[in-house]
Chains A and B, each alone.
Chain A
Amino acid sequence: DGGITQSPKYLFRKEGQNVTLSCEQNLNHDAMYWYRQDPGQGLRLIYYSQIVNDFQKGDIAEGYSVSREKKESFPLTVTSAQKNPTAFYLCASRPESTVRGGYTFGSGTRLTVV
């Protein structure tokens, strides 16, 4: 079945370390997105990519980095510059070729700084 796989489901990071969250999709979707979810804050856009080898900053990109070397993959790195990285991270994808194309979400990664 087609879908989005996020891994790991839970991730623990020591302060000062970089960590990378994986997002893989086999839906042949063009666009991919990373959202951060905090209690009472809804979902906020970190980065998005509409095509391979191109990506744009979202509303809260500071302290994060991404790459889009393959259509299927859009990993998110949480760097040591991110001051408060503990949150729930959601990856999503969408086909750009159809205007009405809906979003598919992964099941998320819970990142905790210890």
Chain B
Amino acid sequence: AQTVTQSQPEMSVQEAETVTLSCTYDTSESDYYLFWYKQPPSRQMILVIRQEAYKQQNATENRFSVNFQKAAKSFSLKISDSQLGDAAMYFCAYRMHTGANSKLTFGKGITLSVRP
């Protein structure tokens, strides 16, 4: 079974600084998707970024980028120029590539606080 591990329950960053959130996963599959979701206090889940395992290039979305290390099964999220609105819970998630088993498996999440 696939597992996703987020070992840091909380992190804090100064506004305008950069922070990296860690995630590791375990799978025997070679093709899959990885995601980072943001959950603000409203509790609405928001997709931050997605990485396809067959792509070597790391995904980027504005201030958000990932460091995808397939061999190490590591998928960290870097937030640059942190803003107060980035304060939220962040979840790392995994999904197999094939549609027959398209469920998302989540890590336990990390609470990010941003200091003004």
**Interface residues in chain A, defined as those with a beta carbon under 8 Å from any beta carbon in chain B:** 31, 33, 35, 40-45, 48, 50, 58, 88, 90, 92, 94, 96, 99-100, 102-103, 105, 107-108
Cβ distance A82 to chain B, nearest Cβ, rounded Å: 20
Interface size class of B (residues with CB under 8 A): 20 to 34
A58 and B102 alpha carbons, distance in the complex (Å): 12
- B42 near A58 with CB under 8 A, answer no
- A96-B99, A99-B97 as given contacts; A107 in contact with B106, CB under 8 Å: no
Q: Would you call the interface of chain A mostly helix, strand, loop, or mixed? A: strand
Residue of B52, B98, B102, B108 near A42 (CB, 8 A) is B108
Q: A90 — nearest CB in chain B belongs to which residue?
A: B45
- B91 near A43 with CB under 8 A, answer yes
A90 proximity list for chain B (CB < 8 A): 45
A94 and B50 alpha carbons, distance in the complex (Å): 15
The residue among B6, B45, B107 with the most chain A CB atoms within 10 A of its own CB is: B45
B104 proximity list for chain A (CB < 8 A): 33, 43, 45, 92, 103
A-B residue pairs, 5 tightest by C-beta: A105-B45, A42-B108, A43-B106, A42-B106, A42-B109
B99 proximity list for chain A (CB < 8 A): 50, 96, 99
A31 and B96 alpha carbons, distance in the complex (Å): 15
Residue of B47, B50, B103 near A33 (CB, 8 A) is B103
A35 and B109 alpha carbons, distance in the complex (Å): 14
- A40 near B9 with CB under 8 A, answer yes
